[in-house]
Amino acid sequence: MTYTPSTLRLQREAARRQASRRSTTIALISTLGVGAGVVLVVTGAKGFQLVRQSFFSLHYAVHSFPSVLSGIWLNLRVMVVAEIFVLIFGLLLALARTSKSPVLYPARLFATVYTDIFRGLPLLLVLLLVGFGIPGLQISWIPNSAVLLGTVSLILTYSAYVAEVIRAGIEAVNPAQRMASRALGLSQAQTQRHVVLPQALRKVTPPLLNDLVSLQKDSGLISVLGAIDAIRAAGIETAQSFNFTPYLVAGAIFVALTIPLTRFTDWLTRKQDRARQQQGRW
């Protein structure tokens, strides 16, 4: 006997379909209305033609695209290298700060002082001090490259922030987990490696990805030491032509690079929430 839905069910489904169609139409009308309102206000403004020529010029967008793109390549390289070292160094600092053993006290002290100082110093200051100050010491084995010293400054500053984020994750792991693993006979090191850290790092993945997105933008600050990143390349083009479109091109590329990261963060968070709800897995 095949299943045929009852009239009541058919009526219910029809009503649901109608309701959803109505809400979609209203959403569409509302969006179009707001969009039209914004367009009218902007294009009706007195200076619109001038702004359009200065900020949205297709000619200068095309003209500046190659140099801005090669600038972005520098941003990406700096971001990738810096992020790897930031994660490693941040993890070490966080472990030093959360250790309870008395023999590691100097490490704990160093980590506390380090995070305080480098979260307090503005990144620009660190860049100038490291970028122009260290070559002044004339230590021969330190290469005098703006990109290298700039990346080192980024690593120094960002590991302080990341260390605090990871430390928060470690301390948020339920103490019962640690007690249980000790009861099972795991040593301190094994507890950290197999029980605490996996949970802690999974917890703080969204803030860490947030820091990565922020690092992608701050990688451009090494331009203060002379390296040509995307924003600087845009600035060079702008100064020649007195047209601001290259900055918009750089901005668009940055946003295009950020969107995959942010969508990835959302997907990861949703996956973890679902796993936690359905399977009780952490």
Partner 1 sequence: MLNSKKLSIFTAISAAAIATSLITPTANAALPNLPTLTAGVLTIGTDDPAYGPWFDSNTPANGKGFESAVAFAVAKQLGYPASKVKWVKASFNSVIQPGKKNFDFDINQISITEERKNVVDFSSGYYDVAQAVVSVKGSSIAKASKISDLSKVALGAQVGTTSLATINSIVKPSKKVSVYDSNDLATAALTAGQIKGLVVDLPTAFYIAATAKNAVLVGQFPAQAKSEQFGLVLSKGSALTSKVSAAVDALRANGTLKAIADKWLANVGGAPVFKK
Contacting positions for partner 1 (CB under 8 A): 47, 50-51, 53-54, 131-132, 135-136, 144-146, 223-228, 232, 235-236, 238-244
Q: How far is the CB of 67 from partner 1 (least distance, A)?
A: 11
Q: Cβ closer to partner 1: 144 or 262?
A: 144
**CA 68 from chain center: how many Å?**
21
Q: Cβ closer to partner 1: 65 or 110?
A: 65
Estimate the crossing angle of helix 146-172 against helix 58-98, to 10 degrees: 50
Q: Cβ closer to partner 1: 173 or 231?
A: 231
Q: Cβ closer to partner 1: 45 or 88?
A: 45
Nearest to 202 by CA among 268, 124, 127: 268
CA–CA dist 282, 275 (Å, integer)? 7
| Contact between residue 233 and residue 246 where contact means Cβ atoms under 8 Å apart | yes
Q: How far is the CB of 66 from partner 1 (least distance, A)?
A: 14
CA–CA dist 20, 31 (Å, integer)? 16
CA–CA dist 61, 73 (Å, integer)? 18
Q: How far is the CB of 34 from partner 1 (least distance, A)?
A: 26
Q: Cβ closer to partner 1: 10 or 51?
A: 51
Q: How far is the CB of 246 from partner 1 (least distance, A)?
A: 12
Length of the chain: 282
In angstroms and rounded to an integer, the radius of gyration of the C-alpha atoms of the chain is 27
Q: How far is the CB of 45 from partner 1 (least distance, A)?
A: 11
